Amino acid sequence: MINRRSFIKTTAAGIALTALPNVVLGAGKKSPLRFKSSVYEDVNYDVVVVGAGASGIPAAIAAARQGAKVALIDEDPVPGGAPVDMYVSYMCGGPRIGIFKEMLQGLNANAMFPDPTFGEDGGNGKSHWWHPTNFLQVIMQMLMEEPNISLIMNAPAIDVVLSNNKVTGVVVLRNGSLQNIKGKVTIDATGIGLISEKAGCEIMFGAEAKSDYNEPYGVETASSRVQPCTQMFISHRVKAGAVLPIGHLERISIAEDQYGWLKENAENQGDDPVSGGWQQRDSGIYLHWGYGQHYIDTRDPQAVAASQLWCLDKLKNDIRTLSEAGFAVELAPKIGIRECRRVKGEYVLTANELKAGWMPEDRIATSNYMLDSWSVSMTKEEKTVPLYGIPYRSLIPLGVEGLLTAGRIISGTSLAASSYRVQPPCAAIGQAAGIAASMAAFNQTSVRNIPMEDFKCELIRNGLYKTSGK
Ligand SMILES: Cc1cc2nc3c(=O)[nH]c(=O)nc-3n(C[C@H](O)[C@H](O)[C@H](O)COP(=O)(O)OP(=O)(O)OC[C@H]3O[C@@H](n4cnc5c(N)ncnc54)[C@H](O)[C@@H]3O)c2cc1C
């Protein structure tokens, strides 16, 4: 266990050491985008993971543990993805296995409010949230323990490197210059599918009509509607004795430290959600789902920024109310984007397979979270799904070589994705993608031709091959 001071020291040194040795400035080279500064020389890895979020971190760790040299790239200054940059630090769904389980164990051990009873499976009613600081501390520690990973932060990937129609890496904007970060296999774990779009993959965006894939529920006509964006925030008691002014807030979607969804908990316990029950636990730290906006074109940064401004404006009263009551508010730096591009793959997963508990031969992960679509009105029973499998084919983009997808962008309908988009399945998908990518890199084969029996053995060895239970 490391203390805070040595953590910060080691983290900073770790990042510097992993990022710097590969850097050689190619003085005088001209950038294709007419950047005035020099460009960095190409660097080569076995596996390049773009996006250090819920799926990208397990992907990088899994590939590194297979012995692959891995570049883990993110546009953010720190890794973490949605739990850190959007404050989506509430984890629901399951199963909680593999590297995700290791992360939970780290969180339970390091949390500000330790709760060793946090559930391994999604179905035991224990959905908790962790402060993004705890989250960052745990994932940084996990990444530091992997010498095969070069962490490259503050480096948006803006294009792919293509060689004979095969993706052989990405172009990043690094310190104001361009750099080709090359890999035998690239994993798009961006949550927004930008890398796949740049690679020429077929992109799915918005809600399919239910007739498109013969799904049991859905909208009648296909549209560009995606799930809403939400501005998350955290409130902390800073004035002794202050009580959360719940009855005076306009938005009361709130979770208290690690005890889950307060309103639901209170109702389950027969308490009044406003006056009793959860308030008596009185932890003084709360996660808030602030205002959200529907149907934003989440591919467009200007539309996303406008949505964030709108949400922040709507939140002004609640922030003032909290502040007057003695609570400080921390806004998530990015507005939460639930849905963006999905990448059409060799298999398009639909709600039909989810409802049937399908376990395909080439399954690489499982999920048991409900169909959680915001645009389709469904009963609780209709939303419920059993444990179902995610086929490897959904990670392989149609007609494109050298690329795998991971996380919420894999190939499925909008309705199906509303289930596996939560963090435990995204992490398992990422871990499997990392294993597959390293196998393709070592065998010098296409991601389509990895030895499936060996792959399955690795999935089992890594605790990912769960086929029953919650
Ligand atoms: C408001 C909201 C509420 C949610 N509620 C829950 C919940 O309660 N429980 C739950 O389990 N899940 C929840 N989710 C879903 C879950 O958080 C996400 O679906 C999940 O994090 C997706 O994982 P990912 O790896 O695909 O993407 P992310 O976790 O978003 O990671 C993507 C990473 O890629 C980086 N990136 C993007 N583009 C580039 C680029 N061009 N170059 C370099 N880096 C790039 C991003 O900075 C980010 O770090 C919620 C999501 C939102 C937005």
Per-residue pLDDT tens digits for 346-367: 999 999 999 999 999 999 999 9
- Is the Cβ atom of 422 under 6 angstroms away from ligand 1? yes
Would you state the pLDDT for residue 448?
A: 98
- For residue 462 the two structure tokens come to 């890594």
- Is the Cβ atom of 93 under 6 angstroms away from ligand 1? yes
- Is the Cβ atom of 74 under 6 angstroms away from ligand 1? yes
Strand partners, 162: 167
Structure confidence at residue 26 as a pLDDT band (50, 70, 90): very low
Is the confidence at residue 9, as pLDDT, over 50? no
**Residue 142 to residues 271, 385, 459: CA-CA distances in angstroms?**
40, 32, 20
The alpha carbon of 416 is separated from its chain's Cα centroid by a whole number of angstroms, namely: 16
What percentage of the chain has pLDDT greater than the value 70?
Answer: 81
Is the confidence at residue 92, as pLDDT, over 90? no
DSSP letter at 92 equals -
**Per-residue pLDDT tens for 379-403?**
999 999 999 999 999 999 999 999 9
Out of 106-115, 197-206, 374-383, pick the least confident.
106-115
Residue 200: phi and psi, rounded to 5, are: 90, 15
Cα–Cα distance for residue pair 440/167, rounded to 1 Å? 13
Out of 26-35, 49-58, 92-101, pick the least confident.
26-35
3-class SS of residue 336: strand
Ligand 1 atom 27: the closest Cα is on which residue? 191
- Is the Cβ atom of 188 under 6 angstroms away from ligand 1? no
Highest-confidence segment of 7-11, 91-95, 196-200, 462-466: 196-200
Rounded average pLDDT over 47-71: 98
Please give the distance, rounded to the nearest whole angstrom, from the Cα atom of residue 58 to the centre of ligand 1. 13
Query: Which of 92, 181, 426 has the most ligand 1 atoms within 8 A of CB, as the residue to mutate?
Result: 426
Rounded average pLDDT over 41-56: 97
Q: Give the residue among 399, 466, 406 at the shortest CA–CA distance from 436.
A: 406
Structure confidence at residue 341 as a pLDDT band (50, 70, 90): very high
- For residue 333 the two structure tokens come to 């730096």
Structure confidence at residue 214 as a pLDDT band (50, 70, 90): very high
Which atom of ligand 1 is the closest one to the Cα of 229?
1
Would you state the pLDDT for residue 65?
A: 98
Is the confidence at residue 173, as pLDDT, over 60? yes
- Is the Cβ atom of 191 under 6 angstroms away from ligand 1? yes
Fold of 1-204+341-470: FAD/NAD(P)-binding domain (3.50.50)
Rounded average pLDDT over 194-223: 96
3-class SS of residue 443: helix
Q: Give the DSSP H/E element, type plus range, for residue 427.
A: helix 423-443
Query: Would you kindly state where each structural domain of the chain is located, as residue ranges?
Result: 1-204+341-470, 229-337
Please give the distance, rounded to the nearest whole angstrom, from the Cα atom of residue 53 to the centre of ligand 1. 6
Please give the distance, rounded to the nearest whole angstrom, from the Cα atom of residue 322 to the centre of ligand 1. 27
Ligand 1 atom 15: the closest Cα is on which residue? 422
Ligand 1 atom 23: the closest Cα is on which residue? 54
Q: Give the residue among 439, 430, 391 at the shortest CA–CA distance from 98.
A: 430
Please give the distance, rounded to the nearest whole angstrom, from the Cα atom of residue 226 to the centre of ligand 1. 15
Tell whether pTM > 0.85: yes
Query: Which of 48, 57, 73, 75 has the most ligand 1 atoms within 8 A of CB, as the residue to mutate?
Result: 75
- Is the Cβ atom of 367 under 6 angstroms away from ligand 1? no
Mean per-residue pLDDT of the chain: 86
- Is the Cβ atom of 293 under 6 angstroms away from ligand 1? no
Is the confidence at residue 277, as pLDDT, over 80? no
Would you state the pLDDT for residue 25?
A: 38
Ligand 1 atom 35: the closest Cα is on which residue? 51
Please give the distance, rounded to the nearest whole angstrom, from the Cα atom of residue 190 to the centre of ligand 1. 8
**Per-residue pLDDT tens for 433-467?**
999 999 999 999 999 999 999 999 999 999 887 66
Would you state the pLDDT for residue 209?
A: 95
Q: Give the residue among 194, 21, 148, 155 at the shortest CA–CA distance from 437.
A: 148
- Is the Cβ atom of 421 under 6 angstroms away from ligand 1? yes
Please give the distance, rounded to the nearest whole angstrom, from the Cα atom of residue 79 to the centre of ligand 1. 11
- Is the Cβ atom of 193 under 6 angstroms away from ligand 1? no
Would you state the pLDDT for residue 295?
A: 85
Please give the distance, rounded to the nearest whole angstrom, from the Cα atom of residue 191 to the centre of ligand 1. 5
